[in-house]
Amino acid sequence: MTQKVIIAGFGGQGVILAGKLLAYTGMVEGKNVSHIPSYGVEMRGGTANCAVIISDQEIASPLVVHPTSLIVLNKPSLLKFEDSVTPSGRILVNESLIDREVKRKDVVVLYVPANKIAEEAGNGRSSNMVMIGAWLAVTGLFSQKTIKESLPRVVSKRNLRYNEINERAIDMGYEYAKNAG
C-alpha cells in the first residue's frame, strides 16, 4: 500500500495542517510517512500545497509527481494539479469554492461542499477537516478514532480550542462521503 496525497488550496485554508494530520496518523498506525509543504512565498490568500506519502514500504522519494489522491480546496489548485493525478486515482473537490467540474474521465471524483459542512459543524474554517473526513471515508485507510486522537498532536496550542469543531467536521465529512458513495 502506498498512498501519495497532494492537498492544495489558498494559504490559510489549513492544507499544510491537514497534510500533517495525515502524516501523524500514518505514523501512529505504524506506516512510513513523509510530508513536504510548499514553502516560503505562500501567504494567506496565496496558494499553498503539501505532499504526503503514507506507505507500508520504505519511502524512497518524498516528492509526489503523480498523486493517488488529490484534495483541492480552491479552483487554482484543481487547475494546477488535475492532470498530475495517477490514472484511477481520486480527486476530492471542495464544491463550495470550486465551480468547475473535473475534466478527467479516468479518475474517481467526489464533490464535497466542505465550507457549507464546516459552517454546520461550527466554523467555516474547518473545511480542511471536512475534506480529511471525506478522504478517510473513501480510502478507509485509518479509523476516525486514530485521526481524532492525532488531531491535538498536530494543531498549534492556540487552536486547540477548536478541537471539538474540528472533530465534528471530520465526522460530518466522513458521513457525507459515505452517503455520497
Partner 1 sequence: MGEKVLMRGNEALCESAIIAGCRFYFGYPITPQNEVPAYMARRLPEVNGCFLQAESELSAINMVWGASVAGKRVMTSSSSPGISLMQEGISYLAGAELPAVIVNIMRGGPGLGSIGPSQSDYFQATRGGGHGDYRTIVLAPQSVQEIADIMIDAFDLADIYRNPVVVLGDGVIGQMTEPLVLPKPSTRTLPRNDWVLDGASGRDARVVMSLRLSPPGALETHNLHLKEKFCEMERNEVRYEEYELSDAQLVIVAFGTAARVARTCMQKARGLGMKVGLLRPVTLWPFCADALGALAEQRRVKAFLTVEMNLGQMLEDVRLAVLGRKDIFFYGRTGGSVPDEDELFGKITEVFS
* Residues of this chain that bind partner 1 (CB under 8 A): 20, 23-24, 27, 32-37, 39-41, 59-63, 65-66, 154
Three-state SS annotation for 40-104: CCCCECCEEEEEEEEECCCCCCCCCCCCCEEEECCHHHHHHHHHHCCCCCEEEEECCCCCCCCCC
H/E stretch holding 8 = strand 2-10
Write down the least CB distance from residue 125 to partner 1, Å: 22
Question: Going by DSSP bridges, is the β-strand pair 47-55/2-10 parallel, antiparallel, or unpaired?
Answer: antiparallel
H/E stretch holding 159 = none
- Cβ closer to partner 1: 34 or 166? 34
Write down the least CB distance from residue 26 to partner 1, Å: 9
- Cβ closer to partner 1: 50 or 177? 50
Write down the least CB distance from residue 27 to partner 1, Å: 5
- Cβ closer to partner 1: 39 or 140? 39
- Cβ closer to partner 1: 59 or 165? 59
Write down the least CB distance from residue 39 to partner 1, Å: 5
